[in-house]
Structure 1
């Protein structure tokens, strides 16, 4: 039986006499344990967010930190990112100043999400559907039925994102083939009027609307 993974849970932020804090279940990673730390974060299903005193704190608090020699930094209350589920893992001094590390639990693979990217002025656009992403990659026409192997929409979107559009793949192959043939012929430089295959274009999606009978 595989060993059951104990997931780290939110804990009260009890700071020490210097204003520092470390979650009691956070492993003591040493300098150079970067890969080990990444593996632990992935195993826990966490998403880390670093908060700097210099950019997070009010001006008077930041000035107090940089201008005073007092060892206690408890006067800084770190903010937290937008959204729910964040909790504090640590508050520490570093070579780059005072930092707080917060994280939420990553959603489960089968958890359905509605993600919105909102601009500073409050406007937002709905995310692309899986079919629209495939159409943008020129893998299907917008009016076609799309069904890939497996039943995971997340896996579909990942595969679509990693795919190379057919037209781009053909252009890349032509350039590679031409380069190999020229190299075989001993040519190391070629000046031609061949257009660059990556060009700025305007793309519009047109999806036929079904009329309700």
Structure 2
């Protein structure tokens, strides 16, 4: 990556903002390592390609997905679950990069969650109009661990609701390098992403990449 391009992405100082009980947005937290993280995503996708998974109801998801770590989140007509192997290749998911784990640990600590040890990372790739409907992350065995969600590329509107799907939803704009961490009282709050607006990002073009790190097993 050229120095001129990186200079044009000079980050503001990271800031911390509570967006709910037990939920924190860390503005610009990942910017210093963004290029390294994206290179790792490319290597992961070379071994476990992005794909549009199908929900148990038979709908193809608009977001393309892949995984890394000891377990990968998958969905098909059989249901939602974590699996040790990539159903597309039949091989174990690529290992979790050290940079992913280090950043997730540091971000969780900054949000008040100590000793977080992620073992799984779901990688979502958004293109214009792709979205993620409101849902809960409830397929993990132990809900005592937080969720760490990292945004790269185009900005997105993150929806953060409550325990009930009908609860009021807060809309939070997430920019390149932002990290959201939630756990504790907010661990099972509904969340999602509104349809991605068209645009162009210097590093990712017309795409947004989201890394969601969890303790799955």
TM-score, normalization by structure 1: 0.20
User: Between Structure 1 and Structure 2, which shows a larger proportion of helix residues?
Assistant: 1
More strand by share: 2
Identify which of structures 1 and 2 has the higher relative contact order when contacts are C-alpha pairs closer than 8 Å and 6+ apart.
2
Decide which structure has the larger Cα Rg and report it.
1
